[in-house]
Amino acid sequence: MADQPHVPMPDQGRDWADLRAEMVGRGDGDARWRDGRTSVYVFNAGEDVAQVQREAYSLYMSENGLGPAAFPSLAKMEAEVVAMGLSLLNGGPEAVGNITSGGTDSITMAVKAARDYARARGQNGAANLVLPYSAHPAFDKAAMLMDIELRRVAIGDGYLADVDAMAAVVDDATVMVVGSAPSFPYGLIDPIESIAAMCRERGVWMHVDACVGGYIAPFVRMNGAGIVPFDFEVDGVLSMSADLHKYGYCAKGASTVLFRSEQLRQHMMFDCDDWPGGRMVTPTLAGTRPGGAISAAWAVMNHLGVAGYRAKHRLVTNAREAVEVGVANLGFEVLGEPQLGIVAFRHTELDAHAIYRQMYRRGWVSAFTTEPPALHLMLSPIHAEVTDEYLADLAQSCDVVAGGDTSRPSEIRYS
Ligand SMILES: *Cc1c(COP(=O)(O)O)cnc(C)c1O
């Protein structure tokens, strides 16, 4: 984080042309995601998609999803985006959902719904949430906000959730059990069917966190990969989170939170009229909801369609396969058997974090894992064009580290 600057507001404003030029210049030191040098934070699906995002966003930029009666256009686009998502994720005729501002929002609202569902069934007092160690910290954030105890359970073989170990810590106060499809660190889909069977037996709410997988896995399956059941097809999965602004290639600020039935979603809704401003009913954490995030999601989904997503995701899985072959040749071992867009790989001899530093110096910005120390790539369609360049730099980086430069990133952050 930069130090907080002391910048007073200018007395007089400046021309937009002047500001625009300055702003473009300010990006000079940023990660070079447009060149495919970034495999975290940004999903680069190409200029065709970027144009649709930009223009569709600005068409409804000023409208507010908080007012569906004032903006029936947005209400209808939201309903259609959710319906498209549910049709991909085997939602069935009863399933419902909403657009939220992102994965953390979707997860927070799903946890709130599960907690209130448990309360409605007389489960008051302490509450806990059971999840694999590989699950996203958004659950920690939600649990902190709602004063719910978090039980992270060590993962088992193949970097996947250990269902027996999770079952052992589920008790009467458990309001939700989580599986990831896939987990962010490893990009692997947890054994959702086994976790769901355990949840059905215990009468506990199961949530599938498909934030990073929900809008790629269905298409990779259509492209021919044998993806295990992970969505509402699995009995016992009551809610899901799936981010539009990741592999849905939509503009940022858009995710979906999905429920098996309206009766379950009711526990997410906020409905308040105990103030002088009249009744306020909102589905998600936000009050004001940017219309542009909704309209851009609607536009990108309709622009790509199933065929478009299949083609974009084919580029992603091709890039992942090329990376897997290339890194194996350099002495790396891929963690588990990834099928989607994320791949993590550790080196059998060299310090992966020292290699990370070398790659970072060469302009590659990615995430990494800590257990075990490994490099991590979350690939986009653009990466199909740069895998050779990436692998060449990786070979050089390995040589430098093998030659004795083992300095690690000075500040190891989550990503
Ligand atoms: C990205 C991600 C989240 C959080 O989503 P945000 O949009 O960053 O809030 C949650 N779970 C998984 C698995 C993710 O990859």
Give 186: exposed, middle or buried? Use CB within 10 Å, 0-12, 13-18, 19+.
Answer: buried
Same-domain pairing of 200 and 101? yes
- Find the mean pLDDT for residues 181-207: 98
Using CA atoms, how far apart are residues 294 and 100, in angstroms rounded to an integer?
9
Q: pLDDT of 53-112, one tens digit each?
A: 999 999 999 999 999 999 999 999 999 999 999 999 999 999 999 999 999 999 999 999
Same-domain pairing of 351 and 318? yes
Same-domain pairing of 353 and 273? no
Using CA atoms, how far apart are residues 5 and 25, in angstroms rounded to an integer?
19
Structural domain of 234? 55-301
Give a yes or no: residue 42 inside a domain. Answer: no
For Cα atoms 273, 98, 64, give the angle at the middle one, nearest 5 degrees: 65
Q: How many other β-carbons are positioned within 10 Å of the β-carbon of residue 153? A: 23
Same-domain pairing of 123 and 266? yes
Same-domain pairing of 214 and 158? yes
Give a yes or no: residue 85 inside a domain. Answer: yes
Q: pLDDT of 264-278, one tens digit each?
A: 999 999 999 999 999
Using CA atoms, how far apart are residues 197 and 317, in angstroms rounded to an integer?
30
Q: What's the whole-number average pLDDT of the chain?
A: 96
| Ligand 1 centre distance from Cα of residue 399 (Å) | 34
Same-domain pairing of 291 and 339? no
pLDDT number for residue 120: 97
> Which of 301, 332, 367 delimits the end of a domain?
301
Residue whose CA lies nearest to ligand 1 atom number 4: 103
What is the band of 408 on the pLDDT scale with cuts at 50, 70, 90? confident
| Ligand 1 centre distance from Cα of residue 138 (Å) | 7
Contact (CB, 8 A) for 242 and 210: yes
Chain position carrying tokens 């069934």: 121
pLDDT number for residue 1: 58
375: CATH: 3.90.1150.10
Residue 305 pLDDT more than 80?
yes
Contact (CB, 8 A) for 374 and 345: yes
Question: Is ligand 1 within 6 A of the CB of residue 190?
Answer: no
Give a yes or no: residue 22 inside a domain. Answer: no
Using CA atoms, how far apart are residues 399 and 335, in angstroms rounded to an integer?
22
Helix (H), strand (E), coil (C) string for the chain: CCCCCCCCCCCCCCCHHHHHHHHHHHHHHCCCHHHCCECCCCCCCCHHHHHHHHHHHHHCCCCECCCCCCCHHHHHHHHHHHHHHHHHCCCCCCCEEEEECCHHHHHHHHHHHHHHHHHHCCCCCCCEEEEECCCCCHHHHHHHHHCCEEEEECCCHHHCCCHHHHHHHCCCCEEEEEEECCCCCCCCCCCHHHHHHHHHHHCCCEEEECCCCCCCHHHHHHCCCCCCCCCCCCCCEEEEEEECCCCCCCCCCCEEEEECCHHHHCCCCEEECCCCCCCEEECCCCCCCEHHHHHHHHHHHHHHHHHHHHHHHHHHHHHHHHHHHHHHHCCEEECCCCCCCEEEEEECCCCHHHHHHHHHHCCCECEEEECCEEEEEECCHHHHHCHHHHHHHHHHHHHHHHCCCCCCCCCCCCC
> Which of 248, 280, 301 delimits the end of a domain?
301
Same-domain pairing of 294 and 382? no
Using CA atoms, how far apart are residues 90 and 97, in angstroms rounded to an integer?
13
What is the band of 3 on the pLDDT scale with cuts at 50, 70, 90? confident
- The count of domains in the chain is 2
User: Which pTM was predicted?
Assistant: 0.96
Question: Is ligand 1 within 6 A of the CB of residue 184?
Answer: yes
> Which of 242, 267, 301 delimits the end of a domain?
301
Give a yes or no: residue 223 inside a domain. Answer: yes
What is the band of 142 on the pLDDT scale with cuts at 50, 70, 90? very high
Residue whose CA lies nearest to ligand 1 atom number 5: 103
pLDDT number for residue 407: 79
Residue 116 pLDDT more than 60?
yes
Pocket-testing residue among 43, 104, 134, 379, ligand 1, by greatest number of atoms within 8 A of Cβ = 104
| Ligand 1 centre distance from Cα of residue 212 (Å) | 6
Q: How many other β-carbons are positioned within 10 Å of the β-carbon of residue 249? A: 28
Same-domain pairing of 211 and 280? yes
Same-domain pairing of 199 and 315? no
Q: pLDDT of 371-398, one tens digit each?
A: 999 999 999 999 999 999 999 999 999 9
Question: Is ligand 1 within 6 A of the CB of residue 180?
Answer: yes
pLDDT number for residue 21: 98
Same-domain pairing of 326 and 386? yes
Question: Is ligand 1 within 6 A of the CB of residue 320?
Answer: no
Give a yes or no: residue 410 inside a domain. Answer: no
Atom of ligand 1 nearest to the CA of 102: 7
Residue 409 pLDDT more than 90?
no
Nearest to 231 by CA among 211, 253, 203: 211
Q: pLDDT of 13-23, one tens digit each?
A: 999 999 999 99
Give a yes or no: residue 200 inside a domain. Answer: yes
Percent of the chain with pLDDT over 70: 98
Atom of ligand 1 nearest to the CA of 107: 10
Give a yes or no: residue 144 inside a domain. Answer: yes
Lookup: tokens for 33: 């995601």
